[in-house]
Amino acid sequence: MKKTGLLLLLLMTATFAASQQATTASTPDASGIVTTSVNVPFVRYQTPTAADIYCAGFLSKDRVPDANYVNGGLQTPTSTKFETGELVYLAGSGYQAGQLYSIVREMRDVNEYEIYPGQRKVLAAAGHPYGEIGRVRIVDTRNHSAIAQVEFSCDPINPGDVAVPFVEKPPVAFRVPGHFDRFAPANGKLSGRIVLGKDFDSVLGTGMKLYLNMGSNQGVKVGDYFRVMRSYTATLRDPVDSLSFKTWTSEDTQMRPPTYEANRLTKTKGANIHVADLPRRGVGEVVVLDVTPTSSSAMVVFALEDVYAGDTVELDEQQ
């Protein structure tokens, strides 16, 4: 029993020493940054798969031509949703056996709710959202329809979804894990905003897709990495999160409790805390999967906390 106790004590001591070494300050680098596991954690980047790349969707300023579209399937009308391996019928012209077509869908937000102030205006400048639903191969043409087999489906294909010629996309290369400075100052590189999440999601995590209001017109390329940043000023502007700043946050034992954003009408005995003085923080990183002239489709490759539609992004200078 004594040997077991001694072994456990040595193990706990070694674990504590390792944790202290990981979090204790070391020598500052040329920028004055002290690398620790607290403010510069070691992260691993998720590499996008073919499914991630071809199912991301996109924003487009120009309306996708809809002359060719899905008008049914083998089990019509008892089935209206078609997936991998099933046969579908395509209306339109120009089909030839062996051709590949992408199936896309013009999207609309049924909630019609602005996730962040000014979203509709920002989104209108970037483009209209389209979903990438799947890929089909023409196997025959009969009557007024082409017969195609679904080779790959991201979501069930519905009648009315649009068929456009398939275009192969480049893969995204693996990125070596490394350190991520959570409180890095602005680097002066290209910056923009997450204008929308795929399927109109507002809260995003690792592996989820989103759209940026920057594209090839700004020099964005497939494989570019952008770090997601958020300031406390942005939190203060949020109609929901800002409520936390208005609650009583001090401890009863504080003689002079602090106040957030006090003004002339606010009575306070303690410090007046301005959120603009707090450091902005990095919450994650995204990689570009596809670009249009005015927008980019991207994927969250890691997230230290929730990523929000409306967050700002800036080009990662370390990529």
Which residues have CB under 8 Å from 198's CB, separation 6+? 56, 57, 131, 208, 209, 210, 211
Distance CA 102, CA 54 (A): 9
| Burial of 302 from C-beta contacts in 10 A (0-12 / 13-18 / 19+) | buried
Distance CA 129, CA 57 (A): 7
CATH number of the domain located at residue range(s) 52-165 in this protein: 2.40.30
- In this predicted model, which residue has the larger pLDDT, 237 or 231? 231
**Structure tokens that stand for 30 in this block:** 């040329």
Helices then strands (H, E): number in the chain? 4, 19
Question: pTM of the predicted model, to two decimals?
Answer: 0.84
Instruction: Give the pLDDT mean for 220-247.
Output: 85
Query: Residue 103 corresponds to which amino acid?
Result: I
Q: Average pLDDT over the chain, rounded to whole? A: 87
**Structure tokens that stand for 26 in this block:** 């070391």
Output helix, strand, coil percentages for the chain, rounded to the nearest 5.
Answer: 20, 30, 50
Among the ranges 170-174, 208-212, 253-257, 279-283, which has the highest mean pLDDT value?
A: 208-212
pLDDT tens sequence across 128-179: 999 999 999 999 998 788 999 999 999 999 999 999 999 999 999 999 999 9
Within the chain, all domains assigned CATH 2.40.30 are found at 52-165
Q: Which residues are paired to 293 by β-bridges?
A: none
- pLDDT of 261: 72
Distance CA 175, CA 3 (A): 45
pLDDT tens sequence across 291-315: 999 999 999 999 999 999 999 999 9
Instruction: Give the pLDDT mean for 48-77.
Output: 96
**Contact between 119 and 77 (Cβ < 8 Å):** no
**Contact between 223 and 173 (Cβ < 8 Å):** yes
